[in-house]
Structure 1
Amino acid sequence: MVLLHVKGKAEDQQFLYETTVAIGVGDLVRELVEIHNLRLRLQRLKMDGDDLAAHGPCKPPDKQGLDEDIQAEADGVTLPPRGPTYRKDPTGKRDGCAPVESAATTLRKALDDAATAASKRQVEMKKALTKRELMEHLDLVRGAVMIAYPMGLPEWDPVRMDLEEDEKPSDTPVGADILDAQTAQLWWAGKQMIPENKLSDHVGRNEKTKIVAKLQKKGGGAPQREAPISPEEHKAMMAYYHKRQARSISHWSPYDREEMKALESNDDDDYTNSAWANGNALKNHFSGVGNVSITGLGGRRGFN
């Protein structure tokens, strides 16, 4: 099986996928887009689901941000008694009707498992993703939500929308990273893979091939070339060589230290008169005019 390390626009948008060299590039792109969008969907569920387990469903859009206690006091109305699981949302976005603790624990566990399956950590564990696995986690979250709220969630609650809708509008911040299977592009080695070709036309017939490919929207151009080392490796190398230089300087003699200070403070351009700094040295050598000089111009200077 060919192992693809698929990367997206952001650093955390990457996963592993196994396929064969006989698959068409167009079919491969559709499969990768499905997994990419499913990962985003599970990540959204994790963020919205944690708030649901803590503070209950969302209020209607026209009441979000309003404090019910202050509003009831201003209107002279007495609010009905609240249940034992009431936990007020400090943001005023949710109604505070949290589920019972056992249902909330089940929901949090399903959300944590789904977020782990969709995280970048799977790449570090060298585990390839499948659509079936991600859909199973989505169903587990859906079941946990039904246990916590048997009567269902309001239609404006983001958890319900994440469970029912496969995609968000592209003009929203949430939908900005969602890809369209019909227009998405797959790039490898600085070139776009042609949808009409087989994968073997680009990577060869070896089933044990491993490649790093970029999945992105149409019109984005060639992906930016990746750095040869990661930022963490770069920091580690800088720290290592800084310590190494500090250790070597500690063993210098007083003369070497004075010499280094003199070199650091020397900003003159005397070196430009040296033979090794002359760009025409080779030409002068063969023309025989390398020793011609002019006096009276602040010193002897070579004539080119």
Structure 2
Amino acid sequence: MVILQVKRGDESLFLYETSVADKTDGVIRDLVAIYNGRLKVQRVCMEMEELAEHGTMLPSEMIGLNDDQIEELKLVDIWADKCIPSGGFQFNKDPMTRRNGQQPKEHMQKVLENAMNDAKAMIDKKNVGLKKLMTLKIIEEALNILRGAVMIVYPMQLPPHDSIRMEFTNTEDLTGTQASKEVLEPSKAQLWFAGRQILNGKTLSEYLGTNDKTKVVVKLNQLGEGPPGREAVISEQLRQQMMADAYRRQEELKTLKIKSLRLKE
């Protein structure tokens, strides 16, 4: 099987196993799904950190308002009494005024924290991303761990407008957010190898050759971004080693020259 080292720009993200006989359509679809799935896990973990600190998300009409404004407008969070964390809560006001301040008790915070740590470790390139193959199954398992922890702490579920619940049901709206710039749109996603775009309707062998026991670098980008930069002919580690060898050789030549001059004297 051929191993694809998947990059976005100059950043290495994960390894993916496939075959040169596989259709390019399926490979590109899987790579985009894994890429976007990793981003989803990261987004959910970020929101779960806020959930553990400040409770469930306020209705959209209350976000950003202070207490006086909420009272003046007679707004009420009808979900506050419906979505109380298991074991009760302690009040911890959200300085960003996005969440209702009903922080879960410490032992329930720990449930969320442990799940986040486990999920992050499953997709973190520093831990496994460039050592262990990444699959859609791993992404789904990471999301299930997060989903399970939220269900333990909030057995009645989160409010329907909470971003975490929306992520779990794939109804999230990322419009206008930084996250929207990171996600790849499947219909516009592109895969490149050695300066060539890998097109749909082909087999990988048309681009990678017939050797099914190799490892290559491929790059994901989006229509309109233009071709990604080519990979360096040599790695940065090898370049530094070559420079060190050249410097050492230069010093050796200097030493030999000095010895030669002394002999002549």
- Return the TM-score normalized by structure 2: 0.76
Aligned counterparts of 1:139 and 1:192: Cα–Cα separation in 2: 34
Match of 1:30 in 2: 29
**Judging changes above 3 Å, is the alpha-carbon distance between structure 1 residues 167 and 220 closer, same or farther for their aligned structure 2 residues?**
farther
Aligned counterparts of 1:164 and 1:136: Cα–Cα separation in 2: 15
Higher relative CO (Cα under 8 Å, sequence separation at least 6) belongs to: 2
Contact 1:41/1:166, CA 8 A, preserved across alignment: no
**Residue 161 (1) aligns with residue 160 (2):** no
Match of 1:95 in 2: 100
**Judging changes above 3 Å, is the alpha-carbon distance between structure 1 residues 167 and 35 closer, same or farther for their aligned structure 2 residues?**
farther
Contact 2:52/2:103, CA 8 A, preserved across alignment: yes
**Which structure: larger Rg?**
1
5 Å matches for 1:70-219? 84-122=89-127, 125-165=130-170, 168-169=173-174, 172-219=177-224
**Residue 46 (1) aligns with residue 38 (2):** no
Aligned counterparts of 2:102 and 2:238: Cα–Cα separation in 1: 47
Tell which deviates more after alignment, 54-63 or 83-92: 83-92
Match of 2:255 in 1: none
Contact 2:15/2:130, CA 8 A, preserved across alignment: no
Aligned counterparts of 2:143 and 2:15: Cα–Cα separation in 1: 19
Contact 2:9/2:229, CA 8 A, preserved across alignment: no
Contact 1:167/1:178, CA 8 A, preserved across alignment: no
Aligned counterparts of 1:58 and 1:187: Cα–Cα separation in 2: 40
Aligned counterparts of 1:134 and 1:188: Cα–Cα separation in 2: 24
**Judging changes above 3 Å, is the alpha-carbon distance between structure 1 residues 67 and 3 closer, same or farther for their aligned structure 2 residues?**
same
Letter in 1 for 2:4: L
- Offset at 1:219? 2.8
Q: How many residues get paired?
A: 239
Contact 1:21/1:206, CA 8 A, preserved across alignment: yes
Superposed CA offset, 1:144-183 (max 9, x none): 1111112221222211121111664565422222223333
**Judging changes above 3 Å, is the alpha-carbon distance between structure 1 residues 64 and 49 closer, same or farther for their aligned structure 2 residues?**
same
- Offset at 1:214? 0.5
Aligned counterparts of 2:96 and 2:242: Cα–Cα separation in 1: 44
Superposed CA offset, 1:25-54 (max 9, x none): 111101111111100100101111111111
Match of 2:19 in 1: 20
Aligned residue for 1:182, secondary structure, equals helix
Aligned residue for 2:220, secondary structure, equals strand
Match of 1:61 in 2: 60
Match of 1:277 in 2: none
Query: Percent same amino acid among aligned pairs?
Result: 41
Aligned counterparts of 1:238 and 1:62: Cα–Cα separation in 2: 60
Superposed CA offset, 1:181-214 (max 9, x none): 3332110001111222211121122221100000
Match of 2:6 in 1: 6
> Per residue, is there more strand in 1 or in 2?
2
- Offset at 1:134? 1.1
Aligned residue for 2:6, secondary structure, equals strand
Aligned residue for 1:146, secondary structure, equals helix
**Judging changes above 3 Å, is the alpha-carbon distance between structure 1 residues 44 and 124 closer, same or farther for their aligned structure 2 residues?**
closer
